[in-house]
Each structure stands twice: as structure tokens, then as C-alpha cells.
Amino acid sequence: ETGVTQSPTHLIKTRGQQVTLRCSSQSGHNTVSWYQQALGQGPQFIFQYYREEENGRGNFPPRFSGLQFPNYSSELNVNALELDDSALYLCASSLNQGAGGYTFGSGTRLTVV
């Protein structure tokens, strides 16, 4: 059974650019949640995808968007990057929106300069 895989592990972008982060969910899981974790803080919920549809969203602007594919892998897209977007982005997969718990990936460290 494979866990949650995120790519890339590290990324440096310039302010104003766009970025796409990827997440492969754990085998058998159909739900993916994305979180932003600033240094020294707990993760903040961005949004959740369940069976290819967004069914929950946190307090993030529309330039944060996502997709979930038929194999339940997911992408997080951020447009018009700002310096404050620098953070660790975590993906968590689960079965049926959290039943049985969540498995987190190791995250993508995004630095915006």
C-alpha cells in the first residue's frame, strides 16, 4: 500500500508567477485535502476534494484553486504568487471525507521571492 506522495518537495518562485503542486493519494482513498502551513504555525485548511468535486473551502482567495482527477490524485494551483504564500503545503488523503483517519504527505516547501 503506497502512502501519500507530493511533488515537488521544494520549489522557488518569483512574486506574480503561478505554481502547480501535485499530490498522489493513498491507494483506496477518494478524498484529498490541502493545507498551508506557515513556519511555526499549524496547518490551515485550503480546500477539500471528494470524488472529483470541491466540497469544502477555507478562508483562502480564489487564486488558490484545485483539481481532483479520476484516479483521485490532486493538484493545487496558486496564481499571482505573493511573498506570504511562502509555506509548507500539505496534502492529506482519506476515505470518504475522513472516515478512518487521514494520511498526510511530506509536503511541498514553496518559497516566493
Partner 1 sequence: KNQVEQSPQSLIILEGKNCTLQCNYTVSPFSNLRWYKQDTGRGPVSLTIMTFSENTKSNGRYTATLDADTKQSSLHITASQLSDSASYICVVSPMFSGGYNKLIFGAGTRLAVHP
Residues that bind partner 1 (CB under 8 A): 4, 33, 35, 40-45, 48, 50, 55-56, 88, 90, 92, 94, 97-98, 101-102, 104-107, 109
Residue nearer to partner 1 on the CB measure, 3 or 61: 3
Alpha carbon distance 107, 75 (integer Å):
13
Residue 23 — left, alpha, or beta (φ > 0 → left; ψ -120 to 50 → alpha)? beta
Q: What is the DSSP annotation of 12-47? A: EE-TT--EEEEEEPPTT--EEEEEEE-TTS--EEEE
Residue 60 or 104 with smaller CB distance to partner 1: 104
In the complex, the smallest distance separating the C-beta of residue 87 from partner 1, rounded to whole angstroms, is: 12
| Separation between Cα atoms, residue 49 and residue 28, nearest integer Å | 15
The three three-digit cell numbers of residue 12, written as one number: 522557488
Q: Which is nearer to partner 1, 78 or 89 (CB)?
A: 89
The least CB distance from residue 34 to partner 1, in Å, is 12
CB 18, min distance to partner 1, A: 24
To partner 1, the closest distance from the beta carbon of 72 in angstroms equals: 16
